[in-house]
Structures are given as C-alpha cells and as structure tokens.
Amino acid sequence: MKKLMAANWKMYKLHSEAKDTAEALVKALKGAAPEDREVLIIPPFTALRSVRKAIKKVPGFALGGQNFFPSMQGAYTGEIAPDMLVDMGCSYALAGHSERRHIMGESDEFVGKKVAFGLERGLSMILCVGETIDERKEGKLAEVVRRQMLEGLAGVPADVVPERLTVAYEPVWAIGTGLTAGPREVLDAHALVRSILQEKFGQKAFEMRIQYGGSVKPENASEILSLDNVDGVLVGGSSLSADSFSKIVTA
C-alpha cells in the first residue's frame, strides 16, 4: 500500500502560481520520490487545469478536488459536480474537511452523501474526521470520530474497492495552528479509525489508507509517517512551497 502524500492548497495560489509550484515539485521529486509514495495535489478549482498539465505523465502524481456537490448536474449556482472534477483529470476528492464542516456548516449527513456519490462517479474519496479541542478536553474524541465515520461512510457499498477509500484523521486543533498531535495521540486515534473501518468493512479495512493531517512539516513528517496505521499525510500550510512539500514527500 503506497503512502498517500496529499497537498491541500485550500484557497491559495493563482493558477500561474499553482503551475509554478507544481512544476517545481515535479522537478524537486524527479528521481527522489520513494516508490512507496503517491503524491496528490489538491489545488483550487481554478488551478486544476494548470496543475494537471504540470503533472501529466509524471508517474506517482495524482490530482484531486477540494470539494463538489453531490449531484450529476443542475441548478446549483457556485457548485461543481464530481464528473467535472473527473473531466479535469482528478482521481481524488476531499469530503468533510474541518474547514467545510466548521466554516461552511456541512453536516455529517451531507458529507456522507458526498463520499457515496463521489465513489459512484469514479473518484477516490478522502473522508476527513477529527475532534475540536473542546471535544478532546471533554473526552469525546472516540464518540466524535465514530459518529463522523459512521455517517460519512453510511452510503459506501460493502464491495467498495478499498484503495479508493481513505480516512484522514485531522484533529481540528492541529490544523493550521502549528500544533501537532504527539505520537501517542496519533497512534490512539489511528487505531480507533482502523477499528471502526474494520467493524464496517472487515478485512478490507487493512487495505484502506488512514492519513494524518494537522501542521505536518518537514521536521515532523518522518516520525509521523513511521507510526502504525499512518498511511500518508494530508498537508495544508507546508504543502504550499515545493521545497517544504518535497521534503515531506521524501521524509
């Protein structure tokens, strides 16, 4: 199972900047990316075409969408359909990122609709889950992660191809804050995620990837990636520069 090294560029980079960063990343990783790593770039929609061009035909690179609306097409002003992402060369998409849950108010149920519909339309899905600092302090981590996973995966068919489903554990208090979960916290949360996947999908759970996300940087990537049940990382801030993200990919 290749580790999935994902760069979430959020609402950063004009398309020319995205193109430059993607090209620099391809250059930095040429011959340097470990065989067991898959690099996924998730730029803003407006940069998908440029990034696609930059990574086209480069083995080990993939393109993803940050979001979509769970419908084929229709009168949904401002939204984008999964088929439009596929049409732009995306093979992955995110659902349930904490910024969408907490800023845009997306519910567990809506996130679940996206996961199921995205899979149906041919995308590999990354379901993001994670507790806020208050939930952690109140001892609710397991309850929150279980709820987000059960609702987020509710519509996923039992015969899903396991490689097409990834869960990203991203404690909300560690996203964009510079705070990182310590090894014990990551181990415990990832073991919990694996056990919930196992309850739902049986042995297939061991072929599904679990990413860690939350202030991953070149200095802590190697330790995080060496932990049990960590099958990749989802990186925001430190993925914006080709230099730091290439160091994370090769960590």
Count Cβ atoms below 10 Å from residue 178 Cβ, excluding itself.
Answer: 9
Euclidean distance between CA atoms 117 and 70, whole angstroms: 6
Count Cβ atoms below 10 Å from residue 141 Cβ, excluding itself.
Answer: 19
| Least distance in angstroms from the C-beta of 216 to ligand PEP | 5
Catalytic pick among 38, 97, 106, 190: 97
| Least distance in angstroms from the C-beta of 93 to ligand PEP | 14
97 is a catalytic site residue: yes
Nearer to ligand PEP, 70 or 214 (CB): 214
Distances (CA, A) of 46 to 42, 58, 94, 241: 11, 21, 16, 18
Provide the CA 232 distance to its chain's centre, in angstroms: 9
170 binds ligand PEP (CB under 6 A): yes
Contact 229, 186 (CB under 8 A): no
Catalytic pick among 99, 106, 170, 190: 170
Q: How long, in residues, is the chain?
A: 251
| Least distance in angstroms from the C-beta of 42 to ligand PEP | 9
96 binds ligand PEP (CB under 6 A): no
Residue type present at position 198: Q
Using the contact rule CB under 6 A, the part of the chain among 52-60, 151-159, 207-215, 219-227 near ligand PEP is: 207-215
| Least distance in angstroms from the C-beta of 145 to ligand PEP | 16
Using the contact rule CB under 6 A, the part of the chain among 30-38, 107-115, 169-177, 195-203 near ligand PEP is: 169-177
Structure tokens that stand for 223 in this block: 């330790």
Nearer to ligand PEP, 75 or 103 (CB): 103
43 binds ligand PEP (CB under 6 A): no
Which contiguous run of DSSP H or E holds residue 83?
helix 82-87
Site map 210..249 versus ligand PEP, x via CB under 6 A? ---xxxx-----------------xxxxx-----------
| Least distance in angstroms from the C-beta of 159 to ligand PEP | 29
Count Cβ atoms below 10 Å from residue 27 Cβ, excluding itself.
Answer: 12
190 is a catalytic site residue: no
Nearer to ligand PEP, 22 or 224 (CB): 224
Contact 114, 156 (CB under 8 A): no
Contact 164, 208 (CB under 8 A): no
* Phi, psi of 214, deg, nearest 5: 140, 95
Contact 131, 148 (CB under 8 A): no
**Per rule CB under 6 A, count of chain residues that contact ligand PEP:** 14
Nearer to ligand PEP, 152 or 237 (CB): 237
Tell me which residue of 128, 196, 125 sits closest to 162, measured CA to CA.
Answer: 125
Nearer to ligand PEP, 8 or 201 (CB): 8
List residues with catalytic annotation.
Answer: 97, 170
Judged by the rule CB under 6 A, the positions of this chain that interact with ligand PEP are 8, 10, 170, 175-176, 213-216, 234-238
